[in-house]
């Protein structure tokens, strides 16, 4: 009896030791590609759907100004991040019930094949076709916002009117501005490739100043990052959201220190001043904001912090309306 018990114990111990040394590999699950980033929520009678266009690596040591790598690393470390970081590209679809309205279009095919350009996959997963999009609101003309307008020179959204502020059209279609404002030529090339096909087709409506564009949707000029940079406010039944475009690029460094600027700014001083103004306004009014480059879904609120602001993402929600 004793020996049988001993043998049983020894066998059990051997089995445990063996299973630790040679763990079995579960073949029940294999890694799958990430599913499209789609996040819908109600805003009054509107349905807003955040559509991920993917993420991009960003080297903050070379992109940022008004700071230094030591300070950048300190701010990143507080957010459990290390340089380079990954920036989201978020596109927003406003379904008003009558119209499908896109805020920006992501990068399209302009970055390398694996970077950005996932809008169409996300749009399809959300249940919409590009031909159903009636209007596109560009926060500004930069490739990561206007790139998705075209594919191989063709209109991706054949039935859409493109709304964009006149100062951006004027700026990006005058190449003399490249030397005048020390802006890389490629931005002007890309503006021509992405927006000009819609201009040629008579599908661009530019606006100046605060403008009511569509029922419940208003454009607000917020120049700085680009001369015609605009925010869009959607409002329905007493609820509202502001689409911020590139008021902020990098949450972990620019919320605590809004004065930090990025190489993509056409006018960095004006961009920083505009960011401070919008941050203060959003914090005081407790409005809901949506950022093109804030971590997906990029929707939340600003809260005053000891230093600058904290970004407070909305609570995750997944249930039927
Ligand atoms: Zn951008």
Encode pLDDT of 30-83 as tens digits. 677 889 999 999 999 999 999 999 999 999 999 999 999 999 999 999 999 999
Structure tokens at 51: 């559509």
User: Which residues face 313 on adjacent strands?
Assistant: 300
Distance 8 CA to ligand 1 centre (A): 66
Cβ partners under 8 Å of residue 122, min gap 6:
36, 37, 38, 51, 52, 53, 91
137 SS3 class: strand
Distance 265 CA to ligand 1 centre (A): 10
Structure tokens at 321: 């309306």
Distance 145 CA to ligand 1 centre (A): 6
The DSSP 8-state label assigned to residue 145 in this structure reads H
Distance 163 CA to ligand 1 centre (A): 17
Distance 293 CA to ligand 1 centre (A): 7
Q: What is the 3-state secondary structure (H, E, C) of 161-172?
A: EEEEEHHHHHHH
CB 174 within 8 A of CB 217: no
Residue that is written with structure tokens 């989201």 in the block = 88
Distance 242 CA to ligand 1 centre (A): 16
Encode pLDDT of 100-121 as tens digits. 999 999 999 999 878 999 999 9
Domains of the chain, each with CATH number or no CATH? 37-313 (3.60.15.10)
User: Is the overall model pTM greater than 0.85, yes or no?
Assistant: yes
Provide the sign of the torsion angle of the four alpha carbons 206, 209, 213, 218, taken in this order: positive
Distance 70 CA to ligand 1 centre (A): 25
Task: Tell me the pLDDT band of 29, cut-offs 50, 70 and 90.
Answer: low
How confident is the prediction for the chain on average, in pLDDT? Answer: 92
CB 168 within 8 A of CB 229: yes
Beta strands in the chain (DSSP E): 38-43, 46-58, 64-65, 85-95, 100-103, 135-137, 150-151, 154-155, 161-165, 204-207, 211-214, 217-221, 230-236, 239-243, 261-262, 288-290, 299-304, 309-313
């Amino acid at each position: 009896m004793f020996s049988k018990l001993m043998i049983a114990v020894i066998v059990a111990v051997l089995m445990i030791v063996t299973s630790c040394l040679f763990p079995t590999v579960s073949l029940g699950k294999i890694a799958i590609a990430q599913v499209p980033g789609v996040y819908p929520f109600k805003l009054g009678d509107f349905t807003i759907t955040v559509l991920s266009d993917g993420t991009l690596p960003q080297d903050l040591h070379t992109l940022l100004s008004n700071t230094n790598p030591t300070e950048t690393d300190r701010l990143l470390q507080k957010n459990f991040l290390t340089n380079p970081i990954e920036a989201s590209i978020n596109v927003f679809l406003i379904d008003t019930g009558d119209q499908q309205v896109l805020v920006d279009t992501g990068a399209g095919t302009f970055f390398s094949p694996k970077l950005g350009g996932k809008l169409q996959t996300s749009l399809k997963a959300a249940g919409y076709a590009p031909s159903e999009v009636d209007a596109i609101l560009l926060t500004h003309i930069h490739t990561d916002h206007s790139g998705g307008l075209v594919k191989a020179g063709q209109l991706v959204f054949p039935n859409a009117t493109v709304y964009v502020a006149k100062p951006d059209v004027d700026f990006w279609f005058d190449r003399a501005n490249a030397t005048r404002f020390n802006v890389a030529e490629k931005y002007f090339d890309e503006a021509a490739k992405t927006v000009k096909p819609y201009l040629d087709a008579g599908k661009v409506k530019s606006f100046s100043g605060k403008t009511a564009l569509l029922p419940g949707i208003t454009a607000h000029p917020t120049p700085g990052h680009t001369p015609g940079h605009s925010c869009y406010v959607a409002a329905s039944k007493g609820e509202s959201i502001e689409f911020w475009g590139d008021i902020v690029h990098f949450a972990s460094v620019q919320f605590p220190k809004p004065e930090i600027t990025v190489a993509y700014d056409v006018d960095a001083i004006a961009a920083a001043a505009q960011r401070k103004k919008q941050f203060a306004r959003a914090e005081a009014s407790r409005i809901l904001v949506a950022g093109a480059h804030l971590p997906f879904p990029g929707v939340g609120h600003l809260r005053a912090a000891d230093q600058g602001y904290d970004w407070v993402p909305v609570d995750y929600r997944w249930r039927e309306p």
